[in-house]
Amino acid sequence: MSNPDVLVIDVRPNSMREEIGYFECSTQLVYSQMTPDAFSLSMKELVANDMNHPILVYCATEQSSMSVQQTLLDTGFTNVQSGGAYEDLVEAGCECPATGIFFVS
């Protein structure tokens, strides 16, 4: 499945991105350095207040990305997926095409 309209969010700090890697098509927004309200506000700005915009969140662990997903759902976002851990997405064959993120099933 490929969807160039999906906003891919990496919520890990720079140290993890540098050590482990990241998707170049992702936007970094470090969840641990923000309050949930500030994070949600930043997300609203990224999607121009479109609460139905497709969003994929990934982190260092599946539990962390699920926590961020729930935060966004609790603040009114409706189309948020937890991508789990970066390494899991790489193992699944995910990659960045020219636009969006491509998932190999």
Q: Is 75 helix (H, G, I), strand (E, B) or coil?
A: coil
Walk along the chain (105 residues) and give the pLDDT tens digit of each residue: 345 588 999 999 999 999 999 998 899 999 999 999 999 999 999 999 999 999 999 999 999 999 999 999 999 999 999 999 999 999 988 887 655 455 544
Domain range spanning residue 29?
2-102
**Average pLDDT value over all residues in the chain:** 88
For 37-61, how does the pLDDT look when each residue is reduced to its tens digit (9 = 90+)?
A: 999 999 999 999 999 999 999 999 9
* Number of domains the chain is built from: 1
- CATH number of residue 23's parent domain: 3.40.250.10
Structure tokens at 41: 């506000």
Dist CA 80 CA 3 (whole Å) = 14
pTM, two decimal places: 0.86
Q: Is the dihedral of CA 27, 41, 103, 105 positive or negative?
A: positive
